[in-house]
Each structure stands twice: as C-alpha cells, then as structure tokens.
Amino acid sequence: MATEAISVQHLSKLYTTRDGGVAALERISFSVDEGEFVAVVGPSGCGKSTLLKILAGLLSPSAGSASLRGTAIQGPRRDIGVVFQSPVLFPWRTVLDNVLLPIDVQGLGRERFMSAAMDLLALVGLRGFERRYPWELSGGMQQRVAITRALIHDPAMLLMDEPFGALDAMTREHMNLELQRIWLERKKTVFFITHSIPEAVFLADRVLVMTPRPGRVVDDLRIKLPRVRPLDLMTTPEFGDYTRHIRGLFNVKGGLDA
C-alpha cells in the first residue's frame, strides 16, 4: 500500500503588491506517493518555485494546507533534501565538507556519515574529488555535489527546483541519466520542478502541468514509459505524444511565454 509523501489541499499563495494582490498559486490540490518521481512543468511565473518553497517550509501559504508524510508543514524540516537551481556551495568548504553541511547543521556527528558521504560521492561519479574546492569543479560537477549534499542525511524526499536549468544541453542530458540512476538506486520520493517539457517526461512517473496567472495545475499526467529509460527514448513516438500533449495544454491556455 502506497502512503502519501506529499499532500496538498486547496493551497493558495497571494503576494501583496502596491496595487493589490497577485495570486502565485490558486487552490492547488495534488498528492504524491512515497517513492514516486513527480515533475512539475510550467513556464516561468506559474508559481512552481513558490510551491516548492512552501513544501520546503521556506514560505507559508495564504490558504489551504500542505503536509509531508502525514504531518502539516510548519517550517523547514530535516527529513527532506533540497536542491536549488544553482549549486549554492560554500567556497571555503571542500567538496566533502560541503556534502557534510547538513550533518554539521543538524549536529549528527561527522564520523557516522563519513562512509555514507564517500559512497554517495562515488555514486554521483565524484570519487577522488573529496578534498577539492567548488571552484575547481565544472558546473555539472558542482550540481552533483549539491545533489549529494541533499542526500547525505538520508531524507525521505528530495525537492529539486530546476536543478539543471543552468547547465548546457549536453551536461543536462547526462545529469538526467545520472538522476534517474540515483533515483532507481535510492528510491526516494522526488519532487522535481522544471520548465523543460522533455526533461519532465523523461524523468517522471507523473507530470503536473501548471499555467500562470493565477498558478494552477491544469493536468496530472501519468508517464507510462518503461524504466530504465535511455536518452534514445526521446525520439520515440510515445515520448513525442506526451510532450505534444503537454505543449498543447500551454498553447490552449496561452501560458507559454518562452
């Protein structure tokens, strides 16, 4: 029996501006099962980052409720890992020290997590880079350090906010394969935000499609493509059907601004 990892009910977020309010999110409802990979796709300004910040406990909603693993979100919590668009590494810390940041913050004792850190770094292909500094690494490698950091305290869930948006197209495809591999190996719940339709279809079990002004979920699409998915999958007709369908939703709603 699948339990609910994320449950969102009638969630709204209003930003107050000088000439009234702007609805970033309007009465959004959805749920995510434990171990599921869910992608949220939408153009910029559709409130998807706001949604992630609420789930991460960094913002509070204006109305409605959101809960993670059965308990209401009341602020940042320690059973999630967050990956942002940029790697957000601390330049004065080595790769290993950056990975261990959550352990330091949560006072869990480095010794117990040292071997876990080494295993994770090997998993993302960064063996031998433990003593390097972030500025000695490429953008893709830095983002892999950020993913390792999000996984180090063994959270039940990963929240990812356009983690590969700043990478070049080739690195990005490579990182998609890597993320799929890590997910298949670790089976965490992943809540993944992106503005790339192919990326969402390629990675996710389910794609939530959002349109802006006000931010709404207009479709909840199950991607029935077999795993492990190779990059070639993107050229198949089934894959094309999914992406065409999602793109069609944006054109009907007039939400595509890019």
Partner 1 sequence: MRSTRNVALSVLLFCVSVGGWEALVRAFEVPAFILPPPSQVALALWRGFSSGLYLQHLSHTLLETLLGFLAGSALGLVLGTAVALSRPVEFFLYPYIVMFQSLPKVALAPLIVVWFGLGLTSKVINAALIAFFPLLVNTMVGLRSADEERVSLMRSLAASERQIFWMLRLPNSLPFVMAGLDVAMIFALIGAIVAEFVGAQKGLGMLIQSMNFNMDVSGQFSILLILSVVGLLLNRGVMMIRKRVLFWDPSEKERIEQERVSA
Give me the residues that bind partner 1 (CB under 8 A), please.
Answer: 56-58, 75-78, 80, 82, 84, 86, 88, 90-92, 101-102, 104-106, 133, 135
CA 19 to chain centre: 32
Give the strands of the sheet with 157-161, arranged side by side: 80-83, 157-161, 189-194, 37-41, 206-211, 216-222
* Cβ 36 to partner 1 shortest distance, Å: 21
80 versus 221: smaller Cβ distance to partner 1 = 80
CA 201 to chain centre: 14
77 versus 253: smaller Cβ distance to partner 1 = 77
130 versus 173: smaller Cβ distance to partner 1 = 130
User: Using CA atoms, how far apart are residues 37 and 42, in angstroms rounded to an integer?
Assistant: 17
Q: How far apart are the first and last CA of the chain?
A: 40
54 versus 175: smaller Cβ distance to partner 1 = 54
* Cβ 53 to partner 1 shortest distance, Å: 8
* Cβ 89 to partner 1 shortest distance, Å: 9
159 versus 246: smaller Cβ distance to partner 1 = 159
Phi–psi pair at 148, nearest 5 degrees: -60, -45
CA 234 to chain centre: 21
* Cβ 138 to partner 1 shortest distance, Å: 15
Q: Which amino acid is at 102?
A: P
* Cβ 58 to partner 1 shortest distance, Å: 6
Residues comprising the chain, all counted: 258
Neighbours of 138 (CB within 10 A): 10
13 versus 216: smaller Cβ distance to partner 1 = 13
| E-assigned strand segments in 48-188 | 63-68, 71-72, 80-83, 157-161
* Cβ 150 to partner 1 shortest distance, Å: 9
